[in-house]
Amino acid sequence: MSTSKASKIPKAYLPSIKPISISLKSDLVERIQALANRLQVSISDILLSCWQILLWRIAAQEEPTVGIVSSGRTLQELEATIGALSKCLPISCSLEHNLSFQEILKQVSESVNHAYEWQDYFVWETAISDSYQFHFEFKEWPQSVCQKGVSFSLYKQYVHREQCKINLVCLQKDNALEIELYYDASLYQAESIKNLSDWFLSLLEDAVHDSKRTIGQLKLLSKHQQQKILVDFNQTQTEYPKSQCIHRVFETQVNQTPDTVAVVFEDQKLTYAELNIKANQLAHYLQRLGVT
């Protein structure tokens, strides 16, 4: 058996791309479609706006750049051409906390139209930057294709671009919407990308619920995440022996975990043993001053 050229490529050059998938609920899809009709924008523009706002919120970049995927078939003569002609076009918007989602949506829609208008003059390889590591794709998935009496349908399609580290792919199948978040597993943990997908979904739901809300107020945390952070993580009640004073309880903890960090202030840390020494020094100093 002959060895293919692909098998000779070092593994270091082959990123481990993994997806996380989300199926949007039908009522949310209906509300997205209704908002798109009311504001005369596309569903793709709404999803891309949420993606850019999310990246802006978590990366603290005033103008996050996202590469949107274009088919590259701008001429009728290219529609039936065999081969990959797609390219990525950089979309960048100026985001501020006090701007409403509707204002950002309008800005994104205009940027996308402008990018498509000039896409034939853009060469991605000349504009590669670390800030272009986030991509966005929107596809309308055909149910089936019939050629010469043979019908078939696509099950899955994905093309990885080397510069892309995280790619948000949105698939519209009839009246359904599916979100697929592809990521480089050598750079990101699955749990982090799962959180990213949850934040995107929460932000999308909140933006669709009130499109006049400012983007700085859009919610990122789901109800489950809010419960976990605000309630579950704060379940720190501990039963202490009522027969002992607090300093005796503390000394018991010192004996059990002397080298464990007890307190942190900015870049300073004290272990239980160190804190106990300083507490004793302070107590002796107060006693010398006459404190009883």
Per residue in 91-141, pLDDT (tens digit) is: 888 888 899 999 999 999 998 888 877 776 666 555 555 446 788 988 887
Residue 236 lies in a domain: no
Lowest mean pLDDT among 17-26, 32-41, 171-180, 228-237: 228-237
Continuous segment of H or E residues that includes residue 204:
helix 190-209
Q: State the pLDDT at residue 76.
A: 59
Same domain, yes or no: 77 and 199: yes
- Burial class of 246 by CB neighbour count within 10 A (0 to 12, 13 to 18, 19+): exposed
In terms of residue numbers, what domain contains 262? Answer: 241-288
Give the residues across from 265 on adjacent strands.
268
Same domain, yes or no: 170 and 257: no
Q: Is the pLDDT of residue 255 over 50?
A: yes
Lowest mean pLDDT among 31-45, 110-124, 252-266, 272-286: 110-124
Same domain, yes or no: 123 and 57: yes
Same domain, yes or no: 191 and 278: no
List, in sequence order, every beta strand (DSSP E) within the chain.
Answer: 17-23, 65-70, 87-92, 134-140, 145-147, 150-152, 166-173, 176-184, 261-265, 268-271
Proportion of the chain above pLDDT 70, given as a percent: 79
Per-residue CA distances from 237 to 39, 232, 249, 252, 281 (Å): 50, 11, 15, 18, 29
CA distance 11 to 250: 53
User: Any idea of the CA torsion for 29, 30, 35, 41, to the nearest 10 degrees?
Assistant: 60
Residue 184 lies in a domain: yes
Same domain, yes or no: 30 and 79: yes
**What CATH number is associated with residue 38?**
3.30.559.30
Per-residue CA distances from 266 to 60, 233, 263, 269, 270 (Å): 22, 22, 10, 8, 12
What are phi and psi for residue 206, nearest 5 degrees? -70, -40
Burial of 107-123, coded b for 16+ CB within 10 Å and e otherwise, reads bbbebbeebeeebeeee
Residue 231 lies in a domain: no
Same domain, yes or no: 157 and 127: yes
Same domain, yes or no: 265 and 202: no
The average pLDDT across 203-216 equals: 94
Residue 55 lies in a domain: yes
Same domain, yes or no: 187 and 254: no
Q: State the pLDDT at residue 176.
A: 87
Same domain, yes or no: 134 and 219: yes
CA distance 189 to 20: 12
Same domain, yes or no: 50 and 195: yes
Place of tokens 């294709």: 145
pLDDT range class, residue 77, cuts 50, 70, 90: low
Question: Residue 269: what residue type?
Answer: K
The average pLDDT across 14-30 equals: 83
CA distance 273 to 181: 47
